[in-house]
């Protein structure tokens, strides 16, 4: 005989949430998911309801779930979707189509940055550089910088990203093993603006497991990409995440415990590894801790190839 939802006591159970000891029907799961997003935003004071909030939307399930959930939880919030077309054949255009469908459903403004049209480069170009085996790393650097610039142009005060529980736990574990205390501190749920006039960065899905973001998308019929990036690989962070998953099989609450302990020690981390003062990149003028920012160092590699 089918189990009955532990919340509404009327519909059949469709979702088991071991760490919360809950068995829910699809409707109650969606309510549970949205309530957690709202609680996370309010707990960390991510933004006031009258703010203009940009959402970095890649086309994947996490950022799609984030944009949809924010529209549901805060129907009057001024939302702007920000998307980067990375110029990856067979992948980037697919992602953009999914994003365009989503914003059309939600009636949300969309700003698109086409990497090839705007800068004359594609992520695949880095295969000809020293970053040929680190495309995910260079892609992350490029995207972070462009989203920062897009947020300024869109005049948003807050930039929300779809980092989920596993993203944060995996990077946390990896940085801890290698003693990267400054990078650990950057995993905070809220990061202040790099400079005046720029947006703060927030992670409303920091308590949301990856599989629950997927379930939310499926139950709410949210469009998201159906193919994997051809350049993605099993990175060190992904390997660490697999270790955490193995532990979580024996302790379902483990990843949440890890996150909670991390949130408690953030002030200590900032004291141990204070942020270096930011100057300005001498090439582009963007806030940077070095003479030339990471973005300019990487894009200059492609410009040199073009001249060769």
Instruction: Encode pLDDT of 16-44 as tens digits.
Output: 999 999 999 999 999 999 999 999 999 99
Band (87; pLDDT cuts 50, 70, 90): very high
Sign of the alpha-carbon dihedral angle for 214, 122, 94, 148: positive
Cα–Cα distance between 47 and 142 in angstroms, integer?
25
Confidence of residue 172 (pLDDT cuts 50, 70, 90): confident
Burial (CB count within 10 angstroms: exposed 0-12, middle 13-18, buried 19+), residue 119: middle
Residue 226 has a pLDDT of 93
| Residue 192 pLDDT grade (very low, low, confident, very high; cuts 50, 70, 90) | very high
More confident residue, 237 or 142: 142
- Positive/negative CA dihedral, 158, 96, 33, 27: positive
Percent of the chain with pLDDT over 70: 95
Residue 307: predicted pLDDT: 61
Do residues 298 and 142 make contact, with C-beta atoms less than 8 angstroms apart? yes
| Parts of the chain belonging to CATH 3.40.50.620 | 27-275
What is the phi/psi pair of residue 270, to 5°? -65, -30
The string of pLDDT tens digits covering residues 216-242 is 999 999 999 999 999 887 565 667 778
270: pLDDT strictly greater than 70: no
End-to-end CA distance of the chain: 70
Fold category of 27-275 in CATH? Rossmann fold (3.40.50)
For 273-283, write each residue's pLDDT tens digit. Answer: 566 678 999 99
Nearest to 142 by CA among 160, 124, 159, 156: 124
pLDDT in tens, 88-139: 999 999 999 999 999 999 999 999 999 999 999 999 999 998 888 889 889 9
Q: Is the pLDDT of residue 308 over 70?
A: no
pLDDT at 156 over 80: yes
pLDDT value of position 236: 58
């Amino acid at each position: 005989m089918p189990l009955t939802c532990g919340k509404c006591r009327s519909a059949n159970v469709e979702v088991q949430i071991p760490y919360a000891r809950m068995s829910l029907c699809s409707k109650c799961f969606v309510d549970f998911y949205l309530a957690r997003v709202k609680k996370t935003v309010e707990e960390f004071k991510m933004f006031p309801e009258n703010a203009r909030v940009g959402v970095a939307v890649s086309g994947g399930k996490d950022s799609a779930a984030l944009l949809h959930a924010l529209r549901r939880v805060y129907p009057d919030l001024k939302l702007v979707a920000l998307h980067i077309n990375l110029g990856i054949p067979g992948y980037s255009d697919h992602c953009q189509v999914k994003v365009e469908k989503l914003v059309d459903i939600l009636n949300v403004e969309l700003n698109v940055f086409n990497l090839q049209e705007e800068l004359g480069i594609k992520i695949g170009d880095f295969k000809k550089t020293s970053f040929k085996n680190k495309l995910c790393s260079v892609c992350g650097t490029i995207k972070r910088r462009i989203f920062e610039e897009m947020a300024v142009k869109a005049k948003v005060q807050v930039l929300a990203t779809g980092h989920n529980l596993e993203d944060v736990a995996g990077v946390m574990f990896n940085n801890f093993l290698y003693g990267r205390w400054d990078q650990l501190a950057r995993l905070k749920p809220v990061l202040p603006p790099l400079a005046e006039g720029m947006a703060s960065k927030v992670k409303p899905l920091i308590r949301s497991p990856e599989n629950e973001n997927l379930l939310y998308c499926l139950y709410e019929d949210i469009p998201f990409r159906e193919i994997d990036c051809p350049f993605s690989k099993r990175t060190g962070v992904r390997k660490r995440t697999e270790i955490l998953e193995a532990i979580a099989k024996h302790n379902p609450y483990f990843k949440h415990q890890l996150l909670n302990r991390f949130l408690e020690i953030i002030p200590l981390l900032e004291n141990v590894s204070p942020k270096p003062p930011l100057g300005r990149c001498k090439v582009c003028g963007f806030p940077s801790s070095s003479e030339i920012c990471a973005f300019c160092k990487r894009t200059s590699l492609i410009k040199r190839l073009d001249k060769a």
